[in-house]
Structures are given as structure tokens and as C-alpha cells.
A and B are shown apart, each in its own frame.
Chain A
Amino acid sequence: MSIIAQAQAGVSSGESTVLNIQRMSTEDGPGLRTTVFLKGCSLECGWCHNPEAVSVKPQVVWHARACIASRACDAACGDDAIIRTDSAEIRIDFSRCTLCGKCVQDCPSAALELIGTQWDVDDLLQEVAKDESYFETSGGGVTISGGEPGLWPSCVTAFIEACKARGYHTAVDTSGMCSPAALKAIASRADLVLYDLKQMDSEKHRDFTGQPNERILSNLQRLAVQMREGGGPTELWIRTPLIPGATADERNIRAVGEFISAHLEGLVSRWELCSFNNLAGDKYRRLGRSWTFEGTGLMTPEQLLRCKDWACRSLRDASIVIATGRTRIECAGDSVRESSS
């Protein structure tokens, strides 16, 4: 729980650390959306494809492909945190980096990036308002994702209120791993909650994410009660990442389905099965971390369909199941290509 406490104590209500703002997002709720990714997560999932979102602190990352080896960073860093491993390659020593941002400022090719910047609600609102027309025509809006938005209840609620005042549809994408009060505050204001159910076996959940799942499940049950009592959100989507060897097995998927049937009957309008995405290897390297799932390939379309089938059979109303994400396609002879169907 320490990270939650830290977040709640350490950050003023007016600002939050934003990792990234993705415009014209088509995958985070209905319509065309602007997704605000907050930095800081209460879980550490082995498969995470946004590893830069895990730490609550800003971080400096180095994009090897953008580097022109100007060596401006060597001179800029006063903390000896830039370690030159090669004439054209560096590594950032995070134990020394003080996040002063000088190397980022002096990098001519934007190869160094400080991820995680402070935004206050007004600025954030101004930024998302740029796509107001697209929200209107598509029934879209703003999604707050992470990291874990539940770590920043006061600024997230303030931002949701501000968005709603402008008439934007709002969604929150949560792992459920946050305080019940925080989740209640956020979920009661949002139009849509995207709630992750990753692994129903608590032991396995701990193995893969660093935390057991009891709080996630109890939070979700509380949310169900809240919804039944008419206390918003108006819509609930469940999301299950399909990770080979971790979540994408029949037992787990059936267990998720059974939980939905037992506790969320009639409340869930969509259950998304999101196939494993292997594009994050680069991100881990940039953060100087190794990745458990480095060597794991994409699922085949057949595997994805099988998962979908298990999910459908575990529910009374199979129409809520949707399988998305990239799968692989075998090519004539040579390499394996990706498809996104």
C-alpha cells in the first residue's frame, strides 16, 4: 500500500503527473477520445506495455533511434548520471539522476525525454478541448488512464467534473487497485468505468502483478452495489488482458466470466479480451529494465478465438464479449507478420 499512501500524501490536489496525452484514441471507450495517461501505478504487471507509467516519479528516457550522438548530454549532466557505454550509446543511471532535465533541454534531436510532466486541471482541460468537435460527432470524450487514476482521486475527480461541465463523455480506466474511497469518488462521477480483471487466482495475481487481487474484487463488488443504487457510473466495461502463460487460460477466463455472472449481472455492457502486445520491449530497454515477456510472441487468431469462446460460454449474455488486439499471421515461408483484427 505504500505507493498509494505516498501518492495521496505527496501530490497536491490541483496537479497530476501526466505521462502522455493520446488524441484520437479509438480503443479506450466509445467514439473518438483523448486519453490522458497518468503516471504511477499500484500494480507492476509483468506484461505491462506501459512500463514507463509504473513509477510515480518523472523519468528520463533515451530514444536510441533518435540519438545523433551529439554528446550534448554528457556536458549537460552535472550528476554523472549519463553513462556512455559506447561512442553512440548511453545508459541513464537512475540512482544518480536528479531529474533536473538539463540533458533533455540540451538534446538537439529530442532523443532524451523527460516523461511525466505536471499538469493542472485547467491546462489539461484546454488540451483535451482541442478535439471537442470529434467528441461531439463520435459520442466520444475523455478517458483517464494510467498508471492508476485511483491514486490521484482529488485531481482526477476535479478533472472529470471539469470535463462534464463542458459536456464531454468521461471514462476512467482502472486496475481497481486503489482505496475504496478513491474509487468511489472517481467512479461516481465518470460516465464509464473500464475495469481490469486480470487474474482471478489471488496467488497468481500476486506473482504476476506484485499484489493479491482481493481488494480489486471487493472494490468491484462495491462498485456494483453503487451502480445498483443508481450512484454512477452509467456504464461498466470489464477488460481482461490475454497474456500467454499468465491469464490466457481456460480456467482463468471462465473464472472471470463466473465473477461477472455472480456479481455484475446486468451491469457490464462489454467484456473486452485484449490480446498480448509485444511492442513494449523497446520501452523496457529505455528504462534500463528487463522484461519477463520479451520473448513472448503474439497470439494466433485461433488462440484469441478460443479465449473468446471460453468467455462466451462462461456468461449468460455472450454478446458483451469482444476480442481485440494484434494477432499473428503466418506468411508464405518467411517471417511472421502481425495483423490487427
Chain B
Amino acid sequence: MSTAAATHFDQAMKTPHGLSPRIQWLRDYFFEGVGREWNNEFSCWTTGTPWDVLYDEIAYYIVPETYAFFQPFISSTLQAAEPVELHPDFWDWSLVERRAWFIRKVMVDCVPQEILPGDLLAGARFNILASRCWNEKEARERNELVLGRAGLRAAVKWFHDHGYGNTGPTSGHLIPDHARLLNIGWKGVYEDLSTRYSQLSENDRRGSKGEQLRAMMTAAMMPRDLAARYSKLCAREAEAERDLERRAELEKMSVMLTRIPWEPAETFWEALQALWLNHMLIMSDENYPGPGVSFGRVDQYLLPYWQRSRAAGMDAEFGKEILKCFWVHANTAYDAMIRVGGNQGITAGFGQLMTLSGLGEDGRDMTNVLTYTILEVIDEMAPILEPKPNVRLHRNSPEQLLDTVVSMISTSQGAPFLLNFDERSMAGMLREAKEAGVEELINESNVHEYAPVGCLENTMVGNDRSGTVDSNLNLLKAVELALSGGKDLLPAVDVLTGEESPLTQDGPRSGDATAFESWDRFMRAYQEQTRYIVEKCVQVYDRGESIRARFSPTPYLSCLVRGCAEKALDITRGGPELNFTTLEAVTFATTVDSLLAIKYLVFDEKKCSMAELLQALRDNWEGHETLQAWAKFRAPKYGRDDAAADEMARYVMELWTGETWKHSTTATGRRFRPGMLSWNYWVGDGFIMAASADGRPQGQFLSNAICPSNGADINGPTANVNSVGKALGGRAGDGFGDWGEYLNMLPNGASHTMTFNPSLLRDDEHKEKFKAFLRAYCINGGTALQVNMIDAEMLKDAQKHPEDYRHLLVRVTGYNAYFTSIGRELQDEIIAREMHNAL
């Protein structure tokens, strides 16, 4: 029997409410999944050449679960592909022009246009896998670089199998200049491109600049042409429609789509329609559904349209309905692989992030009526995965906003949004400006315009691609290599074949750790190995970056990012004004705690010799349980607001971020910058990485982003928060930090998850206390916080009766995931964390 309905838990599972019949239907229809007649599954399109490739694995190097499937994906997508009739001159054009033409052709002439019943927005199918448009020579050259024994694929796999992490340039992860597009329309973009083209010298026109601008002009016409198709469809459907109200809507849409997104948007409906088409075509252009393609500060740039339409008589509820249609559309990104996995392709893996509220000029708070309207939409649609909202808080956020935020947290298991903290975040962005010498682009007067992408990765808006999940490095690897003098502690195992690699001297010979006489000597070895793992990551990444720059242009996306037209350079070649790639560190707390444990066990308390510790790690702590207990329970840990332990955390942070800033990509000149996202790598890599000195055996999860190790934060939430803030740099004693007194070594920001029991928000008095906690987080904490309000008993019931909890959302690493769709181990960990906090 279902117990969910009969049992009273401390909280009720979040359910949607206040939906009109139209939205209720669309939402329910979406969740019918494979049962639907219509879906947005990938469709495949080929040039028809025998060497064609549709699936570009490089974009998936940061998703290690896919490694085993590359070959089947490559062959099956080609097999499923329909040939597209090519322009007679197609093969005479440059690659970027071919690709621009091909994507436009597929989206306008090949992919069917459809409108779901009652839908107020056009733009349904966008998930495509299209030919990379390589000619035979290009395909050969590219395959040589990627495949084969010395190819990039093997290097990436080596990097992953040996526990370093993963790296590769992936799609999305940026905020396009949507505000400009709404403002000037594609017509304005096209005019700008043609002016620039006409100003090129004859020579430049014949060269790569001319190719790029011509390709971008082709791409700039795609939204107009597609909108025209949808306009005709709306007109046809209007004619056949018997419901007069619906017919009027369709007629209106038909007219609207003849104007926008080519012309500037005027009404709120037009703005949302244009925004949706502009956005969805990025996913088509990149052949990747929803990878952190983010919207930026929607409540700011959509506000004028909202106000104009409201003044002209638009009902607020109707405005919300358009937004809700937008929500449903964003979720259809998951249809890409709808037939894969137990949850119909809904994997939580995408991050179409939108940002709400936050600071404006002169320290002004920018919360407005649209902020609250969108929060209402989120609350009424929840639980649902996309788009992922992020609410920016700061020291002077209004009470009403915090009331709304806390009230929404109290009724949702995983808070329906992430919280970003402006002061610390802006400090990181200004640190980046200083480190990279781009103060003219990021400075005191515009840093408040920043917004997060994907989950929580801070970037500037409209001119910035910072590759925020391109490199994910396990810092812990440096501790392992320092212990073993530059070799893996245990032979790496190929997960596919089970074959063990011989131990080789991969890292520098940092010395025989068993002969080290002091802690300082060990730290020197650790520094050397940290330098090495960062360099290694940079080298492997750089190969992928160069290949993408040469073979995988995205001319449509390039139109949406400032700098590309100006330089006549594709976004994949370093076109944007701000050109970074982010090295996201994983295993931070495990690394800090391991260093603390080595110091404590071997040097300070002399509980064992270094040789004994090494043996214990090689034996995965088996037979060394007493020593493991010393490491786990007695050695100091990060996350307790303990000055000495947190100083170690700060030191580790300073070391690896310093190494990261030293590097740039060779082909595209993108500077590496540091961040801590962790995605879900801390789960999977826990099975790859050897046992660690903090007492963790192989097979147990690593630490998540900037969070303390699971269970280590025994001094409560405030101590946890204080440690996180200190690890980022804390606040400058003299008041002169990176922004105000705030210091922040991570411009990208860091994911911080905290889990609380719902009883903490049981009444208004306690909600006030939690508001105060968030306000203090602004002062002491990190850049971003995600809150889980979960009752462990409810989660246990969900494990027993998953069918009753299909829509139960929990927060993992900057994203919400359906509890029943995540692995049992991760479920258990989330429960354990809640139980730990309740003690």
C-alpha cells in the first residue's frame, strides 16, 4: 500500500498548484514521457558522405559515464541519420559556412514544426544531431587527432582512469547577450554583421574573417526563417480551431512570428517568444540539449516588456501563463534521450539557469515585480527541473524577498532555487579581472552585472565564455602522488576490460615520502605534485580545445556573444571579449583532511610511520582499522571553524588556484581560472581513487565541491559556513579585499550544499531565524548555497516506495535531481547527511 499519502511526515512532498487547465495539461503531458505522441527526441541529419560524423564525443569528455558508449553513439546516430539535400556549392565553402548553412537548413526545412495544444510559445523540436559538415580531409585529420593509440580519446580516458578527473571543452555554459537581441532583433545583428563584413579588406573577406562573418550572417537569418514557418503553422491551426479564444491566440502568435525575433520585441509575449527561439536554437547549433545555456538576469531585462504589456492591459496571470509555457519548453530538453534510462532521459544533467534579483548600480537592490512574479511561477510549477533559478542575495536584500525565499524553501524538499551571494561572488570576479588584466571589462562599476551559469558558476553576461565545467581536477591526486613519489598508489584499472596498468613514473620524482623527516618536506612534495596535476590537466584540455577550435565552429552562438563579430572569430576560437576556461577542483575537503591527517598521524602525534600509512592506504585500510579510526575521528578536519584546520584549507586553495592562473590555452588564448563545482564527479571518482589518508576507503564518496567531508562538520551549520568563507579567503582585516572587505580566490564560485531538518522552519519565529542565517551567510559564507530541507524518514520511505515519490526533488551539487532517479549510494548519503545534522 502506498504510505506516502497515509503517513504524516514533518513536511509534505512539494506538488504543483495554481495551474490553469492549459498549463496543467502541458505539465502533465511532459511527465507522460515516452508515452507521449510528440517528443523532442534527437533527430539525426547527415551530409550523406561515408566519413560523416554527427556525434562529437569531445563535448562529452566531461561525462565519463558516456566513454563506453562513444562508438555505439557515433555509429548509431549516423545509421539513424537522414540525408539532407545540399546546396550545389556546399563543399566549396569553408567549414564554418557549411555548418551554418546546414544547421539552418535542418532547423527550417527538415525538422517538423509543431505546436502543442494550448501552448503560447512556438518552437518545439530543437534537439538535433547534425553532420559536423567535415569534408573527407577534415574528417581524416580530425579523427587522427582524436582516435587511435595516441589520440585525445585515449589521453582523456587515461586521465580519468588514473583518478585525475576529466577534461574537455563542452557546449553551452555561458549567458548570451539576450538583452541586446530583444532590443535590436536579429535584423540589428544582421545589419551589424554586414557592416562589419563590408568594412573588411578584400584579403580579409577571402580569409577566415570573411568566412566567419558570412557564416554568422547565414546563422542570423535562421531564427527569422524558422519563425516564418511557425507563423504559417499558427495561421493554419487558427483556421482549423473551433474554440474562439484559442483561435485568437493562434492568430496573434501567427502575426507576432512574422515580426519577431527578426524585429525588436515590443510586448512581454513577444519578448518571451523571441527569447525562447533565440535560446533553443543555441542548443540546436551546439547539438547538445541544455548544457548550462543560461539566461542571465531575466527579471531585469524582461522587466520593461512586462511593464509595457501590463500598462497596455495584459493580465498578470496571463503573463504567468506565458512564463509557464516557457518552463515546459525548457524541460523538453530532456527529451533528447527520452528512451534512455529509468527516468525517461530526465537526468538533472542540464542547467538552463536564470538569475533573479541581486545588486545593481551604487549598491541598489534590483528586486522588482517581475522577480516576485517569476518566483510565483517557480513555486506553482515546482517540482520541475528546468529552468534552474538562482536568486542573488546580498546584505541589503529586502525582507519581502527573503520572506518569499524562506517560505518557498520551507515547502520544498530541495529548495527550488540556488542562492547566490553577491558580495563574495563579486569579489571573485574582481579578483579575476586583476589576475587576467581585464579591468576594463570587469570593474567596480559593472561587476554587479555578473550572473551565474549552469549551476552556480559566476561569469559576466553577454561577452563571456568561461568554460565552467570544462576541466574537473581531483586535487587529491596530488596528495596520492606526493605519498608515492609520483606514481599511482595502486595500478589503474580499465573499467571496460578490467585490465591493470603497470605503475609508471607519471608525476615528478618528489622524493621517497617514507624518508621525509619533516612535515615541511612533505608539503614541498605536495606542492610539486599539485603543480604537475594542474599542468597535466591543462595539457589534455588544450588538445581538445585546439581540435574544437579547428573542427567544431558554432556560428549561430557566436552571433549572441559580444566580441565574436568584432573579431570576426568564432566563439570556439576565442571570439568572446572575456575568454576564460575554468578548472573546477573536485575533492577539496578530502584533500585538506588528508593533509591534516598525514600531519597529525605521522609528524605531530606519531601514531604511525609514513611507511605504515602507505601500507594502510594500499590495503584500503583493511587490517588497519585502528589507524583508520585515528585518521577519521581524531585527526583535525576542515569544516569545524577550527583555525588551524581552516588555515590548511586556505593554503590548499591558494596553492592550486595560483597554479591554475599560470596557464592559458595555446590555440585560443583562454586563461585558466579556478572554481569548485564538482558536479557529480565526487560520487563516481570515489570508486576510482585509492584510499585517502583522511580515513576514507576506496569506494566511498569524495568530498563535494567546497563542502566539508560528509559528517566532518560536527560543530553545526554556522561553523560549516564560517569554514567555507575562510577557505575562499575570508574578509580582509584592513577592509581592503577584492570587493569591499571580501576576498575570494574562486571567481567561478563554489558549490556549497547544506541539509537541514524541516523542523527548523516550523513557524514564523523560526523562519525569521533562518532568514537571519542567510543574511549572516552573506557576511561569512561562500558564493552560492543550496539548501535541502529534508526529513530523513520521508527519504527512507521514498526508497521503499519509489513509485510514490517520482517527483521528489533533492539538491545534489548545484542542481536538483529526482531522488528516485539517483543511485542508491547517493540516496543513502543524502539520508546520512540529514541524520547527522539532526543529532
Contacts and interface: CB of A to CB of B under 8 A. Distances in A.
Interface in A66-91: 66, 68, 70, 72
B687 interface: no
Interface stretch (B44-52, B557-565, B710-718): B710-718
A340 B7 contact: no
Contact of B625 (A24, A68, A140): A68
B345 to A, nearest CB: 34
Contacts of B8: 329, 331, 337, 339
Interface in A127-166: 130-131, 133-134, 136-140
A61 interface: no
Given A26-B766, A130-B641, A329-B8, A32 B626 contact: no
Contacts of B7: 331-332, 337
Contacts of A329: 8
A185 interface: no
A137 B718 contact: no
Interface in B728-777: 757, 759-760, 762, 766, 768-769, 772-773, 775-776
B273 interface: no
A171 to B, nearest CB: 15
B769 A32 contact: yes
A309 to B, nearest CB: 18
B780 interface: yes
Interface residues of A, number: 30
A284 to B, nearest CB: 17
Given A139-B772, A332-B6, A108 B718 contact: no
Nearest to B780: A133
Interface in B776-806: 776, 779-780, 793
A36 to B, nearest CB: 14
A268 interface: no
Interface string B1-16: 1010011111000000
A337 B7 CA distance: 9
A40 interface: no
Interface in A288-341: 329, 331-333, 337, 339-341
Residue among A24, A109, A140 facing the most chain B CB atoms (10 A cut-off): A24
A22 interface: yes
B93 interface: no
A106 to B, nearest CB: 10
A31 interface: yes
Nearest to B2: A332
Given A130-B718, A339-B8, A137 B629 contact: no
A217 interface: no
Contacts of B759: 339-341
B625 A32 contact: no
B6 A138 contact: no
Nearest to A322: B765
A203 B773 CA distance: 44
A110 interface: yes
A193 B627 CA distance: 47
B524 interface: no
A339 B759 CA distance: 8
Question: Which label, helix, strand, loop or mixed, suits the secondary structure of the B interface?
Answer: helix
A204 interface: no
A173 B803 CA distance: 48
B716 A23 contact: yes
Contacts of B314: none
A136 B776 contact: yes
A24 B718 contact: yes
Contacts of A337: 7-9, 793
A70 B3 contact: no
A70 B624 CA distance: 11
B773 A70 contact: no
B634 A108 contact: yes
A108 B6 CA distance: 45
A64 to B, nearest CB: 15
Interface in B548-605: none
A68 B632 CA distance: 12
Interface in B365-419: none
Nearest to A127: B641
Contact of A32 (B632, B772, B779, B793): B772
Residue among B8, B629, B793 facing the most chain A CB atoms (10 A cut-off): B629
Contacts of B6: 331-333
Contact of A138 (B3, B760, B772): B772
B776 A138 contact: yes
Contacts of A340: 10, 757, 759, 762
Contacts of A32: 718, 769, 772-773, 776
A332 B3 contact: yes
B612 to A, nearest CB: 14
A134 to B, nearest CB: 4
Contact of A70 (B9, B626, B722, B768): B626
A131 B776 CA distance: 9
B70 interface: no
Nearest to B775: A137
A131 B718 contact: yes
B633 A110 contact: yes
B735 to A, nearest CB: 16
Contacts of A108: 626-627, 629-630, 633-634
A340 B780 CA distance: 29
B719 interface: yes
A31 B770 CA distance: 9
Contacts of B627: 108
Contact of B779 (A22, A23, A109, A133): A133
A26 B769 contact: yes
Nearest to A341: B762
A140 B629 contact: no
Contacts of A331: 3, 6-8
Interface in A82-135: 108-110, 130-131, 133-134
Residue among B8, B715, B717, B769 facing the most chain A CB atoms (10 A cut-off): B769
A134 B773 contact: yes
A324 to B, nearest CB: 9
A323 B749 CA distance: 42
Nearest to A329: B8
Nearest to A139: B772
A133 B779 CA distance: 7
B694 to A, nearest CB: 14
A134 B776 contact: yes
Sorted nearest first, the 10 A-B pairs with minimum C-beta distance are: A138-B772, A332-B6, A340-B759, A108-B629, A137-B775, A109-B629, A137-B772, A134-B776, A110-B633, A133-B776
Given A137-B775, A337-B7, A339-B10, 5 more contacts: A23-B716, A131-B718, A138-B768, A332-B3, A340-B10
30 contacts: A23-B718, A23-B719, A24-B716, A24-B717, A24-B773, A31-B769, A32-B769, A70-B629, A72-B626, A108-B629, A109-B633, A109-B634, A131-B718, A133-B779, A134-B780, A137-B775, A138-B769, A138-B772, A138-B775, A139-B772, A140-B769, A329-B8, A332-B1, A332-B3, A332-B6, A332-B7, A337-B8, A337-B793, A339-B759, A340-B762
Interface of A: 22-24, 26, 31-32, 66, 68, 70, 72, 108-110, 130-131, 133-134, 136-140, 329, 331-333, 337, 339-341
